[in-house]
Chains A and B, each alone.
Chain A
Amino acid sequence: MAAETPAFETAIGRTNAVAVCFFIAFVVATLGITWWAARRSRTARDFYAAGRKISGFQNGLALAGDYMSAASFLGIAGMVALRGYDGLIYSVGFLVGWPIILFLIAEPLRNLGKYTFADVVAFRLHRAPIRAAAALGALFTVLIYLIAQMVGAGTLFSLLFGLPYSWAVIGVGVLMMAYVLWGGMLATTWVQIIKAVLLIGGATLLVVLILVRFSFDPARLITAARERYGQPFLEPGGLVENPLDAVSLGLALMFGTAGLPHILMRFYTVPDARAARRSVLYATGFIGYFYILTFTIGFGAAVLAGQDVIRHFDAGGNMAAPLLAEVLGGKAFLGFLSAVAFATILAVVAGLTLAGASAFSHDLFVGVVRKGHSAEGDEVFVAKLATVALGVLAIGFGILFQGQNVAFMVGLAFAVAASANFPALLLSILWRRFTTAGAVASILSGVVLSSVLILLSPTVWVEVLKRPVAIFPLKNPAVFSMAASFAAGILVSLLKREPEAEMKFEDEKLRTYLGIGAD
């Protein structure tokens, strides 16, 4: 190993006392919050929606926390460090979905629904088929995203601390179950808020330390990157050599955000539509600021740590930010940032699991099995069972997929969210003529097409299955699967009218627009 290592002493890969201390502090604090939240969580509304008592500002931070996964922090910083400008395409793409959520989704979602986005789709339509289809879309999105996070957690912590892979996966799974089972949405929200503050604070500190090296002049940083890696570092390159692929990726990033169940669910934790609206503004501000930071961190890592060193530790670049932290702040800062990365994964996984559990319990169990009527206690009990089941599944798949390239899975989750969840949600809010059959057709075609096409795409067919040529040429299927999902929803709705749903559309305008009668 020493032979190809450019002279660089590092604490990465060893147990780091500072990291362990920060990490224990985080776990103790969050378990304390869980204990506090458990005493305040009794009803289904508490469990799913934190009693709807979260403020717009708090929810903005929690949304940002849910959204800024370790993949986006370590992954984007790494991508910028290794590929330069290409990484910025992701930074920008991950943010632009937020205004769309505000303009089209947030307020009607809050006014029409109770706990899940299926509430909104099912509002005017026939309950059982919509609940079943929407739960399928939600669970599929959540499970893929969850597995990607678990594999990320295992890989990251064996890399960072030399910890056995399966320990990290089991540890994340067990802690996450504890938060969700006992503390419900209230604990999950506060874990999310703490993590968001730590992550934004850590990234800010890292950027300040970078800028100190360049006398607070970003132009010097850019010039240094150009001197070292040449002009191509500052120009778009191979990531988007095919324009249609670039558009497809853009669609998935933009509209996938507006179809992620764990994000949508957050809008039910605030008291009303105006708080929902404000929370998007805060979230957009925090996330935008954070992505500008990751971009700077990527440049800093390329210049101060160097691409060779970064690649040496992880070919995908995930170690760029931790390495940079060590260069700038020594072992202590590395430890702090590693603990923050762990907290990040833990928080995101908890949010995902809660969203999956509510799709299972609120949509499938109450909506389909119990035909819309169920005792609240039963519903919460089933949600907790589903939490355990999802936790065990996540741990199992996490261990099963050890060493697999799962980078495509986050992309897949966004493609499914954009193709299966978003079109049905948007059409049900905007379009009077949307029917039950249309919604089911839209969701199912979105789920099936996006997953089949991604299987046949270069990302899985060539890179994972090692076949020579991909059957489907694009790396991201969203441009086709999302268009097909909209087309299916519209065409099937036009085939046969549903007068009852059309009538309700007019009648429920007071609720959609003014929140009158909203839960």
Chain B
Amino acid sequence: MSPSSEHRRILDDPEFRSLVLTRDRLSTALTVVMLAVYFGFIALVAWGRGVIGADIGGGFTAGVPIGIGVILFSIILTALYVRWANVRYDALVDRVRRDLGEGHGS
């Protein structure tokens, strides 16, 4: 399909552009954070045996909350993105689709 003038107008719309930019930046930033946390964990496993095995009181060693922490952190990061997208992103999607006179859904 070739873009109509209507499509062109949205592509050039400053709000669309800024939101696309925000989303690209957010997803890149979150990806980098996730990579850093996971490979930080791998580095700790590879070189930080003492840290993982350190006693942190109450019978726990540091490695247990660290490992479970990485899992919980992944879930929280996912939730943050979904929350942002549900509020900010979907509002724009709905507005543009309304402007185009398209119904929602396929």
Contact = CB atoms under 8 A, between A and B. Distances in A.
Contact of B52 (A235, A274, A277, A513): A235
Q: Which of B23, B38, B93, B102 is most buried by chain A, counting CB atoms within 10 A of its CB?
A: B38
A272 interface: yes
The prevalent SS among residues of A at the interface is helix
Contact of B11 (A217, A510, A517): A510
A235 B63 contact: yes
B42 A246 contact: yes
B49 A235 contact: yes
Given A281-B79, A507-B3, A516-B100, A240 B45 contact: yes
B4 to A, nearest CB: 10
A240 B3 contact: no
Interface in A85-116: 85, 88-89, 91-93, 95-96, 98-100, 102-104
A410 interface: no
A514 B34 CA distance: 25
A254 B34 CA distance: 10
Nearest to A513: B20
Contacts of A250: 38-39, 42
A236 B49 contact: yes
A234 B66 CA distance: 12
Contact of A96 (B34, B102, B106): B34
A272 B106 contact: yes
Contacts of B105: 271-272
Contact of B96 (A223, A516, A518): A516
A516 B67 CA distance: 41
A297 to B, nearest CB: 14
B5 interface: no
A514 B96 contact: yes
B9 to A, nearest CB: 11
B85 A103 contact: no
A222 B23 CA distance: 42
B44 to A, nearest CB: 8
B2 interface: yes
B68 A102 contact: no
Contact of A277 (B41, B61, B85, B104): B85
Interface string A209-230: 0000000011110110010000
Interface residues of A, number: 56
Interface stretch (A180-188, A288-296, A303-311, A352-360): A288-296
Contacts of A518: 106
Nearest to A88: B67
B97 interface: yes
A85 B59 contact: no
B75 A288 contact: yes
B70 A96 contact: yes
B67 A247 contact: no
Interface in B50-72: 52-53, 58-61, 63-64, 67-68, 70-72
Interface in A292-334: 292, 295
A234 B38 contact: no
A370 interface: no
Interface string B1-42: 111000100110000100010010001101100110111011
Nearest to A507: B3
A514 B49 contact: no
Nearest to B50: A235
A176 to B, nearest CB: 30
Given A223-B59, A274-B85, A519 B67 contact: no
B78 to A, nearest CB: 5
Which of B23, B64, B86 gathers the greatest number of chain A CB atoms within 10 Å?
B64
B106 A271 contact: yes
A45 B106 CA distance: 12
A240 B92 CA distance: 46
Interface in B86-106: 86, 90, 92-93, 96-97, 100, 102, 104-106
Given A274-B90, A277-B85, A99 B77 contact: yes
A206 B53 CA distance: 26
B77 A234 contact: no
A272 B85 CA distance: 14
Contacts of A243: 43, 46-47
Given A95-B74, A247-B46, A507-B7, 20 more contacts: A88-B67, A89-B45, A104-B27, A220-B59, A222-B59, A222-B64, A234-B52, A235-B52, A236-B45, A236-B52, A240-B46, A243-B47, A250-B39, A254-B35, A277-B82, A277-B86, A509-B20, A510-B96, A514-B10, A515-B93
Interface of A: 52, 85, 88-89, 91-93, 95-96, 98-100, 102-104, 217-220, 222-223, 226, 231, 234-236, 240, 243, 246-247, 250, 254, 271-272, 274, 277-278, 280-281, 284-285, 288, 291-292, 295, 506-507, 509-510, 513-519
Interface of B: 1-3, 7, 10-11, 16, 20, 23, 27-28, 30-31, 34-35, 37-39, 41-43, 45-47, 49, 52-53, 58-61, 63-64, 67-68, 70-72, 74-75, 77-79, 81-82, 85-86, 90, 92-93, 96-97, 100, 102, 104-106
21 contacts: A85-B53, A92-B38, A102-B78, A103-B30, A103-B31, A219-B58, A220-B59, A223-B59, A234-B52, A234-B63, A243-B43, A246-B42, A272-B104, A277-B85, A277-B86, A285-B78, A291-B71, A292-B68, A506-B11, A509-B11, A509-B20
- Nearest 3 CB-CB pairs, A to B? A219-B59, A235-B53, A243-B46
